[in-house]
Amino acid sequence: MVLLFFVLLSGSVQAASLGERFERTLGGSAVPEILKQYGGEHVLPIGQRMWVEEIFRRLVEVTEREDVDYTLTILNSSELNAFALPGGYVFITRGLISAIGRDEAELAAVLGHEITHIERKHGVNAVLRQMGLAVLLEVGVMTLDLASADLLRVASATLLQLVSLGWGREAEYEADLSGQALAVKAGFDGVGAVSLLDDVFTVGSEDLPMKIFRTHPDTRIRRDRLEAALVSFWSTPVVVEDRDVVERLNASRNSKQARRNDPGGRYVVIVPDEGAGLHVFDQQVRQYVTWFENTKVHDFAWSPQGQYIALIVNEGSQRQLWIGDRWGKKTKSVGLSGQAITEMSWSPQGNQLAILVDGPMGSEVMVTYLEADVLLQVGGDFTGESSIWLDTGLYFAHGDMWYHTSAPKVSPVTIRNPVPQVLQRQRILSPTVIKEGNTIRLTRPSLTIP
């Protein structure tokens, strides 16, 4: 052990270089078997392929290791799975891509997780631990050209065994959180890591996607850790000193009428003074209807695009947040045991809601997502009396001051149309005209190109 430590220290640069080469060679040696097991490589339609590759490129661009050449391979398997091999080899099945659909945040979470395994050398370290310290000595002092073929063969077989089992509990936890942070750094919404695991829960145990989840740490624990980490990406609340912004916020605070109006212009909605539900006049069919019957509604607000309507309602002894679609059908509810939701406001993009929740010290400022069951306490140590979204982030009043906080910027993936528009010549029917005395005869038309 002492000799090994001395050798590795004295030739640290050389050893690091040899370790990197061994890592790449080890991962590459397992690629053919992986392709064989998963039906070879799958070629996605060009538009979808460019979308996947752009997400992968953005993630790789913000990685730390400069010694790795990352590659992404789509496997021709309907199984929902993704994994990585040492040296930069990332794999994802067409089945998982299909299940994710066009949710770039979820795809970034998957790829970020696998890239992190490579960044942190989880695979190669697991193989070395399995094979013993003798391998470290051989890799540290011998060139790969002189390395034993038997060594590489045994290491490759060990790697293939470990791929299906994962790299260990702590490695998976690290890949979850670091992969989520990598996705956020690349301009994707970190909530994708949470919603991905939520989607896993919706599948029956006999059809559990991603075989890797059967041996990974408990999915519920992983999901809760990822949700808790979302708050860390928000900025610390700071006092708003710009007087123009403060005046705008005060004006918005004093007027709620704008958020009551249907952005689509179809519905006129009234909260009844007594009774339950919302009284709605549908201007398209010219008749009154009642939404959310038998429910006491305290307040409501349309999403900026008019696709959803948020309501604060009484549900039993609780005051909850409900979200309904444009036709008055409930799609989601948010509530906290023993705490009442007193106010809500939509983000400009319509994908988040800020809510004020009564707590022991006052109203806590929280944020929930439209498409994910998360609840984030973003107000820090401050309570809030009102919350308003602007394009620059979330603002909330505390005493006589306004405070500002914001989530990381999300940059949607944009792909130019990969199929160029080509001006094609139009074929024209051109009959031949023949004059015969006082008559005209037309021959059968022939197709010609002008």
User: In this structure, how many other beta carbons lie within 10 angstroms of the beta carbon of residue 292?
Assistant: 20
State the Cα–Cα distance between residues 19 and 139, nearest whole angstrom.
6
Report how far apart, in Å, the C-alpha atoms of 330 and of each of 320, 323, 363 are. 13, 6, 26
Which residue in 49, 110, 22 sits closest to 413, CA to CA?
49
What is residue 4's predicted lDDT score, i.e. its pLDDT? 41
Query: H/E/C letters for each residue in the chain?
Result: CHHHHHHHHHCHHHHHHHHHHHHHHHHHHHHHHHHHHCCCECCCCHHHHHHHHHHHHHHHHCCCCCCCCCEEEEECCCCCCEEEECCCEEEEEHHHHHHHCCCHHHHHHHHHHHHHHHHCCHHHHHHHHHHCHHHHHHHHHCCCCCCCHHHHHHHHHHHHHHHCCCCCHHHHHHHHHHHHHHHHHCCCCCHHHHHHHHHHHCCCHHHCCCHHHHCCCCHHHHHHHHHHHHHHHCCCCEECCCHHHHHHHHHHHCCCHHHHCCCCCCEEEECCCCCCCEEEEECCCCEEEEECCCCCEEEEEECCCCCEEEEEEEECCEEEEEEEECCCCEEEEECECCECEEEEEECCCCCEEEEEEEECCEEEEEEEECCCCCEEECCCCCECCEEEEECCEEEEEECCEEEEECCCCCCCCCCCCCCCCCCCCCCEEECCEEEECCEEEECCCEEECC
What is residue 212's predicted lDDT score, i.e. its pLDDT? 47
Bridge partner list, 314: 319
Report how far apart, in Å, the C-alpha atoms of 352 and of each of 186, 373, 374 are. 20, 11, 10
Write down the domain spans for the chain.
2-233, 238-405
Bridge partner list, 291: 278
State the Cα–Cα distance between residues 306 and 266, nearest whole angstrom.
10
What is residue 426's predicted lDDT score, i.e. its pLDDT? 53
What is residue 213's predicted lDDT score, i.e. its pLDDT? 47
Q: What is the pLDDT along the chain (450 residues), one digit of tens a residue?
A: 444 433 433 444 454 566 778 889 899 999 999 999 999 999 999 999 999 999 999 999 999 999 899 999 999 999 999 999 999 999 999 999 999 999 999 999 999 999 999 999 999 888 888 877 444 545 454 444 445 677 788 888 888 888 877 788 899 999 999 999 999 999 999 999 999 998 865 654 444 544 444 445 678 889 999 999 999 999 999 999 999 999 999 988 777 666 778 999 999 998 776 668 899 999 999 999 999 988 899 889 999 999 999 999 988 778 899 999 999 999 999 988 778 999 999 999 999 999 999 877 789 999 999 989 999 999 999 999 999 999 999 999 998 999 999 999 999 999 877 666 555 555 555 666 677 767 777 666 555 444
CB 89 within 8 A of CB 117: no
Q: For the domain with range 238-405, which CATH number is right: 2.120.10.30, 2.40.30.10, 1.10.3720.10, 3.40.50.1220?
A: 2.120.10.30
What is residue 8's predicted lDDT score, i.e. its pLDDT? 39
